[in-house]
């Protein structure tokens, strides 16, 4: 493993000597994260990292105020918002690795048939990490973070409940979507776990990147995601109960949680419910209800 100490390394000093502001952000990121995770990728990437302030209207995605280009190893941020947005982008820098002449970043990966997967989960988890470790980095961050990938973040929190916080952080920092999918498959099957990742991508693309997002597509995709997670929780509860890891009481708590998830889902969709949607819900509810009964 690469050993790197801030004081002794010329890297940060040389690359960032023209901008004290950026250097401080990078120090702050390292100081907070170095005790928890391996930062080899981060140290490698910051050697050539560029951080450029720009006018907000030139950003590629309208709602975003900053972005990291993995191919050019460049962060663009809206002038005046550095401390609000920089840590999110530095997480992208810390999780970006080269793999067969392509770049992967956190849960964002290249599939065997050369397609990309995991952008939704990756943005949600990046926002979650930023919130977990750097929510106090700017006085306006708390308010701002409520609007940053809120649903993707929520999906990641639910997934952490299934997989474990430490494990999820490790998979993310190692840019290891593969093992995450394998672990999710323990409570489902490989194809469904893969499809779940694609659903989060679909949700993200519809909600975050389109000028006129389709509300029905968003609702339907969200529902499928929640039902998948609910089924996984139920399967996990059954596994734990059957091998006597948890008591009957704990099992009932799991089931109550699953029911709560489904209720929340219905609540979320109240505004958008149409007859077609009701049909979807009925079908999905029955599937999960039957599983609860078994």
Q: Which residues of the shown chain bind Zn ion in the complex (CB under 5 A)? A: 123, 126
Minimum gap (Å) between residue 47 Cβ and Zn ion = 21
For Zn ion, the closer of residues 56 and 259 by Cβ is: 56
Minimum gap (Å) between residue 257 Cβ and Zn ion = 29
Residue 48 buriedness (CB in 10 A; 0-12 / 13-18 / 19+): exposed
φ/ψ of 129, rounded to 5, equals -65, -45
User: Three-class SS string for 238-290?
Assistant: HHHHHCCCCCHHHHHHHHHHHHHHHHHHHHHHHHHCCHHHHHHHHHHHHHHHH
- Tokens representing 258 are 């699953």
For Zn ion, the closer of residues 83 and 126 by Cβ is: 126
Minimum gap (Å) between residue 248 Cβ and Zn ion = 43
Minimum gap (Å) between residue 67 Cβ and Zn ion = 7
For Zn ion, the closer of residues 122 and 265 by Cβ is: 122
- Tokens representing 219 are 């609702």
Minimum gap (Å) between residue 120 Cβ and Zn ion = 11
Minimum gap (Å) between residue 108 Cβ and Zn ion = 9
For Zn ion, the closer of residues 65 and 126 by Cβ is: 126
For Zn ion, the closer of residues 123 and 206 by Cβ is: 123
**Radius of gyration of the CA atoms of the chain, in A:** 21
For Zn ion, the closer of residues 123 and 201 by Cβ is: 123
Give CA–CA dist 88/279, Å, rounded: 39
Q: What is the DSSP string of 126-164?
A: HHHHHHHHHTTSSTTHHHHHTTSSHHHHHHHHHHHHHH-
Helix (H) or strand (E) holding 85: helix 82-94
For Zn ion, the closer of residues 149 and 196 by Cβ is: 149
Minimum gap (Å) between residue 270 Cβ and Zn ion = 30
Contacts with 266 (C-beta within 8 Å, 6 or more apart), sequence order: 281
Bridge partners (DSSP) of residue 98 are 103
């Amino acid at each position: 493993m690469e050993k790197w100490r801030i004081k002794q390394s010329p890297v940060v000093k040389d690359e960032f000597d023209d901008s004290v502001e950026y250097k401080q952000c990078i120090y702050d990121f390292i100081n907070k994260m170095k005790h928890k995770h391996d930062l080899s990728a981060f140290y490698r990437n910051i050697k050539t990292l560029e951080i450029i302030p720009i006018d907000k209207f030139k950003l590629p995605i309208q709602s975003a105020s900053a972005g990291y280009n993995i191919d050019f190893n460049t962060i663009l941020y809206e002038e005046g918002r550095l401390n609000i947005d920089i840590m999110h982008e530095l997480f992208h820098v810390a999780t970006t690795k080269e793999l067969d002449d392509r770049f992967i970043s956190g849960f964002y990966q290249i599939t065997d048939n050369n397609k990309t997967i995991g952008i939704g989960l990756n943005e949600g988890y990046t926002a979650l990490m930023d919130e977990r470790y750097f929510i106090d980095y700017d006085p306006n961050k708390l308010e701002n973070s409520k609007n940053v990938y809120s649903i993707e973040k929520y999906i990641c929190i639910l997934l952490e409940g299934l997989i474990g916080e430490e494990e999820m952080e490790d998979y993310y920092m190692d840019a290891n979507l593969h093992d995450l999918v394998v672990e999710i498959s323990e409570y489902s099957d490989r194809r469904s776990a893969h499809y779940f990742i694609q659903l989060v991508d679909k949700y993200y693309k519809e909600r975050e990147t389109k000028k006129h997002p389709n509300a029905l597509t968003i609702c339907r995709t969200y529902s499928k995601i929640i039902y998948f997670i609910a089924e996984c929780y139920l399967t996990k509860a059954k596994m734990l109960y059957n091998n006597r890891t948890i008591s009957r009481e704990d099992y009932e708590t799991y089931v109550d949680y699953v029911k709560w998830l489904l209720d929340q889902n219905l609540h979320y969709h109240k505004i958008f419910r149409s007859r077609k949607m009701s049909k979807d819900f009925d079908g999905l509810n029955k599937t999960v209800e039957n599983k609860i009964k078994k």
